[in-house]
Every structure is written in structure tokens, then in C-alpha cells.
Amino acid sequence: MTGWTSSLVLAQQDPELQILPDAAELVWGAVAFALLFLILWKFAFPAMGRMLDQRGERIQGQIESAEQQRTEAEELRRRYEESLADARNEANQIIEDARAQAERLRDEALSKAEDEAQQIRAKASEDLEADRARLAQELRGQVASLSVELAGKIVQRELDEEQHRALVDQYINELSGLN
């Protein structure tokens, strides 16, 4: 025999070993259970339902708040990236403007240097012409003096200074005309 069937056999032989309660006990137990169930149904279950509803609403609110915060964070990130891109574009524009200005300043400095060099060349040319004319005038004077001395030695007499100068100037002009 198995263990379960042996307990039934023992319960039938010995009434104290009964496993099943009396019928009155079963009725009072059922009434107490029904009364407890009705009290729980009336008071505890609605309170637990409200508590679960509140908790669900709170969780839903937290989910919605988290979603809203995520959306705001995404918007802030997008704005930050736009600001960063704008800042990069502005920095690139500033760099390009600085390069253009540097190029313009370099061109202006080069042009100014070329103008100054041209002026220096013109001034040097003018100075050279002035020096050449001055030297020619000095040479004329020296040639005139030398000619007067030479003519005086050749003729052995002293010519009038003014006649000498006129004669030398005429001679120099003739020589200049040949060149």
C-alpha cells in the first residue's frame, strides 16, 4: 500500500486520526472566510486598487517627465551643435577676412615701396643730371681758365678776361655742337 491509502485506512480505524474537520467547523470556517473576503472586498481591495492606480499614475508621470527631459536635452544638444557650427563658420570667416586684409596690406606696402623706389630713381636721375650740368659748368670754367693761360703763353701777352671768356665759350659751344 501506498502512504496516502494507508492514512485513510488508519483514519477509518481510529477516529482521532481524522484528517477532515467536522461539518460545523467547515461551515463556520466558510462563513468566516466569506466575511473576511467581504471585508477585504469592501475596504482593502479598493484601497490597494487606488494605491496601484496612484503608483501607475506616478510611474506614467515619471515616464512622461523623462520623455520630456529627453526631448529638451535633444533640443539643447541640437542648439549646441548649431551654435558650435555657427561659431566655427564665424571663426573661418574671421580667418578669411584676416587673410584678405593681410593680403591687401601686403599689396599696399609693395605698391608703396615700388612708388618710393620710383621716386628715389627719379630723384637720383635728377641729381645725376644736376651733377652732370654742374660738372659741365665747372669743366667749362676750368677749360676757360686753362685756355686763357694757354693762349696767354702762346701769344705771350695777356688777353682781356672778358674776351677770353667769350672766346672759350664760343669754342666750348662749338665742341658741344659736335657731340
By C-alpha distance, which of 116, 178, 174, 114 is closest to 140?
174
The residue to which cell 686753362 is assigned: 146
Q: Is 22 left (phi over 0), alpha (psi -120 to 50) or beta?
A: beta
pTM above 0.85, yes or no: no
For residue 41, what is its C-alpha cell? 472586498
Q: pLDDT per residue over 6-63, tens digit each? A: 555 555 556 566 677 788 888 999 999 999 999 999 998 999 999 999 999 999 999 9
Q: Is residue 150 scored above 90 in pLDDT?
A: no
Torsion of CA 89, 90, 94, 95, to 10 degrees: -30
Total domains, the chain: 1
pLDDT attached to residue 145: 74
What percent of the chain shows pLDDT beyond 70? 82
